[in-house]
């Protein structure tokens, strides 16, 4: 039996083990997926241990997505551009890192949903994965809003680089720019943790009311399945989506990267639906 897994801290709340083990069993693969809680100072030892165990591959989550890079043998071009990894495959003893987060997000968006003009809240890891893959999924204009930071010019450069020129950074406090972007948006994405544990939102009810009626409002949070943002959007009859669909799709892409066979996304979604974490 080949071991696969997840390294993160905390790791035990993750839905990945139940989702991946269900898929492994469905495909009758002789493997098992295990979550490993790894502290930052133990990361190097953990990766060395996974090598010794000849694991087939593993997922990487917070806080290790960037710090794991020196311990890997190779990165895919996407992971190289992002300087972040969420999936690692063991190929004849070589650990190759990639990222399925961005593709997982865009593949979770309904195919008939317009998404040429996108408003993205946040510049963290999840937001960067979305930026780095937006162009290939047909996004033409990406406006990224963030609170003012000391490293603003560096973030501007990062947004332009990752988005391959279609993205621009704007201050969340710039009401004029924010209002104009919301009025034209096909898709609004919250890629921050605001609203994960409470009813807070980054946008006011008035600002949400500026969105066109076809705008899909996506909150990448999945632990709070009906965030304040999604409730406010739903009250205006806007279509909404939480982070579970992205979780399923990035997990399915990890499975396909490891095993070179298609994942059943519906089965994976059914497996985690209704599980509270």
Q: Is it true that the peptide bond before 10 is cis, omega within 30 degrees of 0?
A: yes
Q: Are 192 and 229 in contact (CB under 8 A)?
A: no
Asked whether residue 243 is marked as a ligand-binding residue, the answer is yes
Instruction: Give me 142's structure tokens.
Output: 């990406």
Asked whether residue 61 is marked as a ligand-binding residue, the answer is yes
Asked whether residue 197 is marked as a ligand-binding residue, the answer is no
Coil, strand or helix at 143: strand
Query: Please, which residues bridge with residue 189 across strands?
Result: 120, 218
Asked whether residue 15 is marked as a ligand-binding residue, the answer is yes
In the residue annotation, 92 being an active-site residue is answered as no
Phi/psi of residue 238, nearest 5 degrees: -85, 145
Three-class SS string for 19-85?
HHHHHHHHCCCCEEEEEEECCHHHHHHHHHHHHHCCCCEEEECCCCCCCCHHHCCEECHHHHHHCCC
Asked whether residue 5 is marked as a ligand-binding residue, the answer is no
Asked whether residue 222 is marked as a ligand-binding residue, the answer is yes
Q: Give the number of other CB atoms < 10 A from CB of residue 201.
A: 21
Q: Is 200 exposed, middle or buried (0-12, 13-18, 19+ CB in 10 A)?
A: exposed
Q: Are 4 and 29 in contact (CB under 8 A)?
A: no
H/E stretch holding 120 reads: strand 117-121
Asked whether residue 86 is marked as a ligand-binding residue, the answer is yes
- Residue 267 to residue 20: CA distance in whole angstroms: 10
| Active-site residue, selected from the candidate residues 64, 65, 115, 265 | 65
The residues annotated as belonging to the active site are: 65
Binding-site residue numbers for shikimate are 14-16, 61, 86, 101, 222, 250
- Binding residues, as ranges, are 14-16, 61, 86, 101, 220, 222, 243, 250
């Amino acid at each position: 039996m080949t071991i696969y897994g997840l390294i993160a801290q905390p790791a035990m709340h993750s839905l990945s083990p139940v989702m991946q083990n269900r898929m492994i069993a469905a495909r009758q693969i002789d493997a098992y997926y295990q979550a490993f809680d790894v502290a930052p100072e133990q990361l190097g030892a953990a990766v060395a241990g996974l090598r010794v165990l000849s694991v087939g591959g593993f997922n990487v989550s917070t806080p290790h997505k960037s710090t794991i890079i020196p311990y890997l043998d190779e990165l895919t071009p996407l992971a190289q551009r992002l300087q972040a990894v969420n999936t690692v495959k063991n190929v004849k003893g070589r650990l190759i890192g990639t990222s399925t987060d961005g593709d997982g997000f865009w593949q979770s968006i309904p195919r008939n949903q317009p998404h040429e003009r996108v408003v993205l809240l946040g510049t963290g890891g999840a937001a960067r994965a979305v930026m780095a893959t937006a162009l290939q999924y047909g996004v033409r204009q990406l406006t990224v809003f963030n609170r003012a930071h000391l490293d603003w010019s560096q973030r501007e450069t990062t947004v332009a680089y990752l988005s391959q020129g279609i993205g621009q950074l704007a201050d969340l406090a710039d009401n004029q720019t924010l209002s104009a972007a919301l009025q034209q948006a096909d898709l609004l994405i919250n890629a921050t943790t605001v609203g994960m544990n409470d009813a807070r939102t980054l946008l006011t009810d008035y600002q949400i009311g500026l969105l066109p009626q076809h705008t899909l409002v996506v909150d990448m949070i999945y632990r709070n399945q009906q965030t304040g943002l999604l409730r406010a959007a739903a009250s205006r009859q806007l279509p909404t989506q939480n982070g579970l669909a992205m979780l399923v799709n990035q997990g399915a892409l990890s499975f396909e990267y490891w095993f070179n066979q298609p994942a059943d996304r519906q089965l994976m979604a059914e497996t985690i639906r209704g599980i509270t974490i």
